[in-house]
């Protein structure tokens, strides 16, 4: 299988330990190449056997990031879209499960002409085919290999990209290895052995990195960089410090200052690359550092022990803060620990609350206690997907006389003010079968949310099975909870809110997936603005 073509590839691997920041590194490289006038795209290759992360617990893999076409993907695709202008699709993220599924289907259809099906060449050929398909039409395709060098699960992906270097033209590929250079307090110095061993493991399988991104606390000295270069067979100028940063959006600037984008441009011989225009990132960094006001937003959910479960929420709130020249601090509150008796105490010092998406009955009473407290005390609150449904249930219980209001998702007797969507009632398979991806919403005339967006029709990303039951809309609207927006085709309730409240609004979709630091989502910007306004008055 030939890999020759006009597209260039940046392959990113990781070593020593997981969670070193390969995703942020890939996104930062993409942002820098875009700043040079190049078109980029991304691929995340995940080594697990699941077909996608859609059925995985957030505790296992963090949030599920949903694309416009309805793909349920790895959270790193959120980094890619936030840091760049790219709009990704399902071919930009694939797993070992998808690859093996396709190869087995081909074998069943007789496409291998009776040959023995093996990891090499059949699995690796399928991986290369997917990489080449996703890269077509772009100047540079940035490919992140999930996992860590040495993991048995990642070997087919690493073997595939090793083959691609041989099959490609000399200046068509760049290999970037993200590794760790720890500072040992007891020794009072940084240690390069983990990086040396990681590069050795990579070289043993035939991959020779061109650039090393060394995760470290502070900039590595020239002496340390020369030592790493010597033992890793990498040029000293291509040993780059990937330091801890106060703000994740400072990372492209820090990497640019060390010449990372220049190194990649040189390695790939990208002749049409312009000088980097990093002014927007500098302005962003300045805006973050100059923000003086601070607010505290409580995220009340059921996966709060792992911050990555709410990665896009965290970032969207941060973006809303940037737009309002405000520092946003987030306090995670486990809904299981919250109830009507302690809600006032646990929400003390909280300026606004966010109820995120979720599934199942666990923690709902705690989340509804928080919503009731916010509603009754004029505390700005936003409910996303599941959070919006809980807004409706709590309101119906408290103000509509429907004391047993519930969702059929909770599997308890009661009045189903939230019910399973009609199209979902015959669904058996769980993976990839929810209402997923882009759907329209049309706002009611004079709805406050239309003023926030500045338009009457929007398209947002969805991920849900249950919906507000239209049979009860008239009752809760008469009591003061208004429907602000609906889907024009299905009449599905998309947005609800209380007009008299400083900000009490829920949406069935996930606006956080469309928020970027350089263009904050209007709903999160408006939410933060309402909190700032209320805080100034108090």
Catalytic residues: 385, 510, 512
Q: Is the dihedral of CA 101, 105, 111, 114 positive or negative?
A: positive
Reading the block at residue 139, the tokens are 């100047």
Convert 48-87 to b/e letters by CB count within 10 Å (16 or more is b).
Answer: bebbbbbeeebeebbbbbbbbebbbbbbbbbbbbbbbebe
CB atoms within 10 A of CB 327: 16
Half-sphere exposure of 398 (CA within 13 A, CB side): 17
Vertex 416 angle, CA 415 and 417, to 5°: 105
Looking at 219-275, list the stretches that DSSP marks H as alpha helix, in order from N- to C-terminal side: 222-232, 251-257, 260-268
How many angstroms from the chain centroid is the CA of residue 247?
A: 16
Q: What is the DSSP letter of 490?
A: T
d(CA 231, CA 234): 8
d(CA 76, CA 58): 14
For 510-536, the DSSP string reads: -GGGG-BTTB--HHHHHHHHHHHHHHH
d(CA 94, CA 99): 7
Phi and psi based region of residue 454 (left: phi greater than 0; alpha: psi -120 to 50; beta: remaining): left
> What is the three-class DSSP state of 42?
strand
CA neighbor of 380 nearest in space, from 344, 397, 355: 355
CA neighbor of 531 nearest in space, from 354, 376, 369, 387: 354
Stretch (H or E) spanning 131: helix 124-135
Q: Cα separations (Å) of 443 from 46, 356, 446, 486, 526?
A: 39, 22, 8, 7, 16
Query: Which residues on adjacent β-strands are paired with residue 419?
Result: 467
| Backbone dihedral angles phi then psi of residue 354, each to the nearest 5 degrees | -130, 125
d(CA 525, CA 382): 12
Burial of 89 per CB tally in 10 Å (0-12, 13-18, 19+): middle
CA neighbor of 345 nearest in space, from 317, 381, 369, 314: 369
Write the CB contacts of 172 (distance below 8 Å, at least 6 apart in sequence).
3, 4, 5, 7, 8, 9, 268
């Amino acid at each position: 299988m030939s890999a020759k073509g006009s597209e260039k590839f940046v392959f990113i691997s990781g070593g020593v330990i997981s969670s070193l920041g390969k995703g942020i590194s890939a996104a930062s490289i993409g942002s820098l190449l875009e700043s040079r006038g190049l078109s980029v795209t991304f691929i995340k290759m995940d080594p697990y056997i699941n077909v996608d992360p859609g059925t995985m617990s957030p505790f296992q893999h963090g949030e599920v990031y949903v694309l416009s076409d309805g793909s349920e993907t790895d959270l790193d695709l959120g980094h890619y879209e936030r840091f760049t202008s790219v709009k990704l699709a399902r071919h930009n993220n694939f797993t070992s499960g998808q690859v093996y599924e396709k190869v087995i289907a081909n074998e069943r259809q007789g496409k291998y002409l009776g040959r023995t099906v093996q990891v090499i060449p059949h699995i690796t050929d399928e991986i290369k085919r997917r990489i080449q398909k996703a890269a077509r039409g772009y100047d540079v395709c940035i490919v992140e290999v999930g996992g860590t060098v040495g993991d048995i699960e990642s070997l087919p992906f690493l073997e595939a990209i090793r083959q691609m270097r041989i099959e490609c033209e000399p200046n068509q590929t760049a290999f970037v290895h993200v590794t760790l250079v720890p500072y040992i307090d007891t020794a009072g110095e940084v240690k390069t052995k983990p990086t040396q061993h990681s590069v050795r493991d990579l070289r043993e399988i035939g991959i020779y990195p061109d650039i090393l991104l060394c995760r470290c606390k502070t900039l590595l000295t020239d002496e340390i960089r020369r030592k790493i270069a010597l033992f890793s067979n990498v040029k000293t100028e291509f040993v780059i410090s990937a330091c801890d940063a106060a703000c994740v959006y400072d990372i492209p600037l820090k990497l640019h200052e060390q010449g990372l984008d220049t190194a990649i441009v040189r390695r790939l011989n990208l002749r049409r690359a312009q000088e980097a225009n990093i002014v927007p990132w500098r302005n962003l960094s300045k805006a973050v550092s100059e923000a003086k006001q601070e607010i505290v937003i409580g995220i009340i959910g059921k996966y709060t022990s792992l911050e990555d479960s709410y990665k896009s929420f965290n970032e969207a709130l941060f973006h809303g803060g940037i737009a309002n020249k405000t520092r946003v601090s987030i306090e995670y509150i486990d809904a299981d620990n919250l109830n009507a008796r302690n809600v006032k105490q646990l929400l003390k010092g909280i300026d606004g609350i966010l109820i995120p998406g979720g599934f199942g009955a666990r923690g709902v009473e705690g989340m509804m206690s928080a919503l009731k407290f916010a509603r009754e005390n004029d505390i700005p609150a936003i409910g996303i997907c599941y959070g919006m449904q809980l807004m409706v249930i709590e309101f119906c219980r408290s103000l509509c006389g429907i004391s047993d209001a519930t969702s059929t998702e909770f599997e308890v007797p009661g009045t189903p003010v939230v019910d399973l969507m009609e199209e979902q009632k015959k669904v058996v398979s769980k993976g990839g079968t929810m209402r997923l991806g882009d759907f329209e919403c049309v706002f009611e005339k004079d709805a406050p949310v239309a003023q926030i967006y500045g338009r009457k029709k929007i398209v947002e990303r969805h991920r849900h099975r249950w919906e507000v039951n239209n049979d009860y809309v008239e009752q809760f609207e008469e009591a003061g909870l208004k429907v602000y927006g609906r889907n024009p085709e299905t009449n599905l309730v998309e947005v609800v809110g209380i007009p008299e409240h400083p900000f009490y609004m829920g949406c069935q979709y996930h606006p956080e997936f469309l928020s970027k630091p350089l263009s904050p989502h209007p709903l999160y910007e408006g939410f933060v603005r309402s909190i700032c306004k209320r805080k100034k008055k108090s």
